[in-house]
Structure 1
Amino acid sequence: MKARRWIALGIGAFILVFSVITSLSLAMNTYSQANWLAGAYDESVVIQEGDPSGSIALLEVNGAIINTTSDSLFSAEGYNHSNFMDLFYQTMSSPNVEGIIIAVDSPGGGVLESAEIHDAVIEAQENYGKPVYISMGSMAASGGYYLAAPAEQIFAYPQTLTGSIGVIMSSLNITELLDKIGVEETVYKSGPYKDMMSGTRPPTEEEDEILQSIVDEYYDEFVEVIANGRGMDEERVRELGDGRIYTGRQALEAGLIDELGSINDVIAAMQRDLGSNYQVIAIEPKQGLTSMFGLAAEKIFGKAEQKQGLMELTEYNQPRAMYLYDYE
């Protein structure tokens, strides 16, 4: 019986390995054909024909704005901060680009990452003279709104959820759980605050004050960004910025956006304001080897399992300050 069991296990392992190799081979073959047809690495696609003397570039921020490891073996889709920033700077410096539209569908994300996109929006407009319009999708909350604030025009659907102006910093405390199962952590540290936000002990009053001061500082920065970007009084921004979310209609009434409309409305508005029916080009990051492995993993394990594994490997749940609408 033992011999039969080992034989069965061996056959099963062989089938699994064969399936993985076959799927990877198929993904690589598909990728190679796509590159051959597209002229190797050019991932820009004309999505609306028009005046070819200039272009309106369409970029996407889709997902949590967090700079995680971009070269994960199984990364196939989702927001990649490093790739986006590279594309943004390439786009704003292109002499063929007359204006930039950023389609945002995001609950927000890291304080630093949101600020980097915000600063790049300003740079595109002030240093390169390229107007930036924002098209909000189903959600553009917290950091998703932060990055949009300095844009020349902000559009949203009536059903868009935006706002969530504020900062959140959290960690799990599992002290009671560890006590119940008889586990105790021993920590050696160089200073009293070296293990702040540890999940194995409650915070002290001094630590609460330190962490709250950080949250308050980031919140003040958020308020200033909106006040400057939207031309609003800081006191009014603080009234709006209590963490709540707004629909697109409510955001329009509050002065947080400029117009209600779809991505097509945003394109039409930019063409009108630029005075020419320029063609619209979607700019996408090029596919790499890691993306091919991601496609293969998706074929083998399915999207849900892949995403679950990715989320477990990312820094999403690390304790740090976030411009994030924490809706889960």
Structure 2
Amino acid sequence: MSLETDLLVDRRRLRRKLSLWRVAAFLAAAVALVAVLAVGGGKDLLNKRADHIARVKIAGFIGDQTANLKLFDDIADSSAKAVIVKINSPGGSTSGGEALFDGLRKLSGKKPTVAVIDGLGASAAYMAAIGTDHIVARRSALVGSIGVLVQFPNVGKLLDTIGVKMEEIKSSPLKAAPNGFEPTSPEAAAALASVVNDTYGWFKGLVKERRGYDDAALGVVSDGRIFTGKQALDLKLIDAIGDESAGIAWLEKDKGIAKDLPVQDWEKPSDSRSLFFAQALAALADKAGLPILGSLLASPTAPPGALDGLVSVWQPQAQK
């Protein structure tokens, strides 16, 4: 065997050994990262096994509630003695609010619950609040906006200006109507209004039942406007003015919850935590000399699609 051949064989052996050590180093670092995350999660798990008050946060736009509903089920089966639902949200999809309401009514059958509206509890967020046993809000919080909304643009004039015409063939006149490319027909507007009014009537029925209104009182609070916490208390949309401590005081006084129980945050799985984990592994792969694996791990997941459907959301910029 020639000297050049020997050198080539030795080089290939060295590359194989080096690749093996790189993979081993990556796996060791990955195991260490998992261990660090597990230690933090283990401490949290130990805290939740002791008696405590669970705190759940509902913030931002209310959309799909699969993760929160799973969280409610976990709390129901836990050592939590009560639940604080901390709300700061303008609302969101009506179906998301419905899911929260149903989930919180189910949870309230097993644990006493109190909603604390920190800054904003409107529309679908208020729908969630009335799913609890008691509602507390700050005096300056914004509460209410009971209603249902469908919005769609009409760009027909713009298309005429630039010389674009949309053509379509559909099974019936009300299919995909309104479509935003032409004036909405009276029939399409009436059909959509019937959907909005049906859901609006259902929303008002929830409020009437949960807050004990007669028809006259319900009419005052359900015209879509928002109220301050003080106004909401006077109108019986909420039960008390205060913050989280007021909610805890009510749990202790009215529900017999032991004094000075620790409050433990319960959080749904975080996309940001998963992204951090993936990015950390990608960095480890790059350092270990495995760039292809690193690029695969670092690829982000596509965000969810655009909102479509009925919404119960407070939109101050759209008010007239």
TM, length-normalised to structure 2: 0.75
Q: Deviations 1:148-204 (Å, cap 9, x if unpaired)?
A: 113211000111111101111110010001111111112121121111121111111
Identify the match of residue 181 of structure 1 among 162, 175, 184: 162
Q: 1:139 to 1:39 in 2, by over 3 A?
A: closer
Q: Given the alignment of the two structures, is residue 327 of structure 1 paired with residue 316 of structure 2, yes or no?
A: yes
1:315 aligned onto 2:306: yes
Partner residue, 2:93: 110
Residue 150 to residue 39, structure 1, CA distance change in 2 (3 Å):
closer
Counterpart in 1 of 2:84? 101
Q: 2:200 aligns with which of 214, 219, 226?
A: 219
- Structure 2 CA distance for partners of 1:141 and 1:294, relative to 1, 3 Å: farther
Is the counterpart of residue 199 in structure 1 residue 190 in structure 2?
no
2:61 is paired with a residue whose SS is: coil
Counterpart residue number, 1:90:
74
Q: Once the 2 structures are TM-superposed, how far is the Cα of residue 34 of structure 1 from its aligned partner?
A: 4.9
Aligned match of 2:57 in 55, 60, 76? 60
Does residue 1:208 correspond to 2:208, yes or no? no
- Is 1:254 matched up with 2:235? yes
Q: CA deviation at 1:221?
A: 0.8
Matched, 1:271 2:252: yes
Unmatched tracts of structure 2, length 5 or more? 1-29, 280-300
Question: Identity percentage over the alignment?
Answer: 26
Q: How does 1:1-328 map to 2 (within 5 A)?
A: 32=34, 34-39=36-41, 54-67=51-64, 81-94=65-78, 96-126=79-109, 128=110, 130-272=111-253, 273-277=255-259, 278-287=261-270, 291-292=274-275, 314-316=305-307, 318=308, 320-328=309-317
Q: Give SS of 1:91's match.
A: helix
Cα–Cα, structure 1 residues 248 and 294, in superposed 2: closer, same or farther, change >3 Å? farther
Structure 2 vs 1, CA of residues 219 and 284 (structure 1 numbering), >3 Å: closer, same or farther?
A: same
Letter in 2 for 1:88: F
| Higher-Rg member (1/2) | 2
Secondary structure of residue in 2 paired with 1:189: coil
Cα shift at 1:43: 5.5
- Aligned pairs, number: 267
SS at match of 2:262: strand
Q: Deviations along 1:119-170, whole A, 9 cap, x unmatched? A: 11211223x2x11100101100011111111321100011111110111111
CA drift at 1:315: 2.3
The RMSD of aligned alpha carbons is 2.9
Closer, same or farther: CA 250–206 of 1 in aligned 2, 3 Å: same
| One-letter amino acid of the structure 2 residue matched with residue 90 of structure 1 | D
**Going by fraction, where is helix more abundant, 1 or 2?**
2
Flag the structure with more relative contact order, 1 or 2, with Cα contacts below 8 A and sequence separation at least 6: 1
Superposed CA offset, 1:270-298 (max 9, x none): 233324123221101234587416996xx
Report the Cα distance in structure 2 between the residues aligned to 1:327 and 1:123, rounded to whole angstroms: 32
Which residue identity does 2:114 align to in structure 1?
Y
Change (3 A) 1:180 1:295: farther
1:4-51: CA deviations, max 9, x gaps?
xxxxxxxxxxxxxxxxxxxxxxxx9997465133146x756959xxxx
Equivalent position amino acid for 2:258 in 1: S
Q: Say whether the 8 Å CA contact 1:106–1:139 is kept in structure 2.
A: yes
Structure 1 letter corresponding to 2:38: W
Judge conservation of contact 1:132–1:151 (CA < 8 Å) in 2. Answer: yes
Structure 1: unaligned runs, 5 residues or longer: 1-27, 68-80, 297-309
Calculate the TM-score normalised by the size of structure 1: 0.73
The verdict on how the C-alpha distance between 1:266 and 1:295 changes in structure 2, with shifts beyond 3 A counting, is farther
